[in-house]
Amino acid sequence: MASKVLKQVTRVITSHRQREGGGFMVRRPLPSGSFDYADPFLMLDHLGPVNYGPGEAVGAPDHPHRGFETVTYILDGEFEHHDSHGNHGLLKPGWVQWMTAGSGVIHSEMPSDELIKNGGKFHGFQIWVNLPAKDKMIRPRYQDVPPENIPWFESKDKKTKIKVVAGEVEDVKATIDTHTPIYFLDLRTTGSYDLHIPKEMNAMVYNYHPSSIYVGREKTKVVESQLAIIDVQGETVSFAAAEDAEDGSGKKEARVLVLAGSPIGEPVSRYGPFVMNTREEIMQAMSDINSGAFGEIPGSSERMRKTDEANRKRQAAGKE
């Protein structure tokens, strides 16, 4: 009698769609329904892909954060950020921004002037990562990392390539510094690959590409916009491209984000852009933002004007 294969994929969640920021649509598998936290990951938003016409691009005008980190990964398009500490940067295709909000920051995430003026494609992700209590009130920090500083791993058969944003794959290690052990990988394969993830980590896989993929030793099929929750069980996690190429040359390339992290294991109290350990700390954050303690960014009214104008233009054209 054949032995039963224990499933590594314990749950598959299909993203729901909702409007965020200044009016852009996201696909969000986490939080979703009864599954609201995959310690240490608080949220996963898939932005686009969307093709904007001239004057239609929108972002997220001035808003606060405290007590966690936001990770922005751009595939297509450009985002410009400003914050209340005077930081400013432009994220282009392939860039990653790992922002530690810590004690508190107001920032804006807006399409670049070029994307607003000329239109174009935008595609990316934002992930929220919790911080342990000891780090929730540290000084805010940015790590803006261009693609040339993010290493890639390539399998021996050259059918699998993995962008190592955080963590490591075999002998390839990320350059980004994280407060707790984190894996953030962009895995792309036309074959199969067995990935090592530390057994103490919570892990999940998000399929952001039209081609489906088999995940886990039991080969659970995960399609576009689905998030698979993984129980590593001390073994490697297998990934295999699931769809044949039309020309018969092999498999279509599958693309997924692999997120894994050591659980923090502390109480979580969250309200909008604040993630703390207690309700009292949330109330203090609200008091601080209302008192102006987070500061402000010059040009707020102009960013809101651009956002309102872009929304009116899209609505007039019958677009989302």
User: What string of pLDDT tens digits covers the 320 residues of the chain?
Assistant: 455 667 999 999 999 999 998 989 999 999 998 899 999 999 999 999 999 999 999 999 999 999 999 999 999 999 999 999 888 999 999 999 999 999 999 999 999 999 999 999 999 999 999 999 999 999 999 999 999 999 999 999 999 999 999 999 999 999 999 999 999 999 999 999 999 999 999 999 999 999 999 999 999 999 999 999 999 988 999 999 999 988 888 899 999 999 999 999 999 999 999 999 999 999 999 999 999 999 999 999 999 999 999 999 988 888 77
pLDDT of residue 34: 80
Distance of alpha carbon 186 from alpha carbon 192, whole angstroms: 14
Q: pLDDT tens, 120-165?
A: 999 999 999 999 999 999 999 999 999 999 999 999 999 999 999 9
Distance of alpha carbon 320 from alpha carbon 314, whole angstroms: 7
Q: What are the b/e assignments for 252-288, b being 16+ CB within 10 Å?
A: bbbbbbbbbbbebeeebbbeebbbbbeeebbeebeeb
Spell out the residues 6+ positions from residue 20 whose beta carbon is closer than 8 angstroms to its own: 26, 45, 60
pLDDT of residue 234: 87
Spell out the residues 6+ positions from residue 107 whose beta carbon is closer than 8 angstroms to its own: 62, 63, 65, 81, 82, 83, 84, 87, 99, 297
pLDDT of residue 245: 87
Lookup: tokens for 110: 């807006």
Q: Identify residue 148 by its one-letter amino acid code.
A: E
Q: What are the b/e assignments for 55-81, b being 16+ CB within 10 Å?
A: bbbbbbbbebbbbbbbbbbbbbbbbbb
